[in-house]
Structure formats: C-alpha cells, structure tokens
Amino acid sequence: MSSVDELRQVLQEIERSLEEAGAHLGTCQGKLDEARQALVQLDPEHPETVLPTGLPRTHDQVERAQRMIDLVLSTIRDFTTRL
C-alpha cells in the first residue's frame, strides 16, 4: 500500500469519526430541547425560574460545534479529492 493510500484510509477513518460525532451532537441538541420543554412544564407561567441560565448558551455551543465539524468534513473531503 502506498503512502497516499494509507493517507486516504486514515482520512476516511477520521471522516467516519466526525460524522459519528455530528450525529451525537444532533442527538444532544434534541435531548437539550426535550429537557428544556420538561423544565418549562414545571412552571409554565415563570419558565425563567426553572431553566438553568446556561441552557441557551449550551444550545448555541452545540450548534457551533456542529458547524465546525461540517467545515472540517468539507475540508477533508476536498483534500481527499485532490489526492
């Protein structure tokens, strides 16, 4: 196996791992939404009293991580295409 073939193989493994991480982030985002909805039901008239202050920031951080994974995947795919 040539060095280029080995590099392609490693890049494919990285791509699979990143895709898996992206899927986990999607699941995480869904679970965060479920948790938010459950917490709001505890006190629907005053949801601010039951929602952790960092919850909206967590949602944003998960979205940011997903965008970063998408960018890295795109970069890897472009690089692999050029090999």
The model's pLDDT over 26-60, given as tens digits with 9 standing for 90+, comes to 999 999 999 999 999 998 888 888 888 898 899 99
Specify the pTM: 0.82
pLDDT band at 63; cut points 50, 70, 90: very high
User: Per-residue pLDDT tens for 66-78?
Assistant: 999 999 999 999 9
Phi-psi region of 43 (alpha: psi -120 to 50; beta: other; left: phi over 0): beta
Number of domains in the chain: 1
> What domain range is 28 assigned to?
3-82
- Reduce the DSSP state of residue 43 to 3 states and report it: coil
66 contacts 22 by C-beta, under 8 angstroms: yes
Tokens 């970063």 sit at which residue? 68
Q: Give dist(CA 79, CA 58) in Å, integer.
A: 31
Q: Is the pLDDT of residue 6 over 80?
A: yes
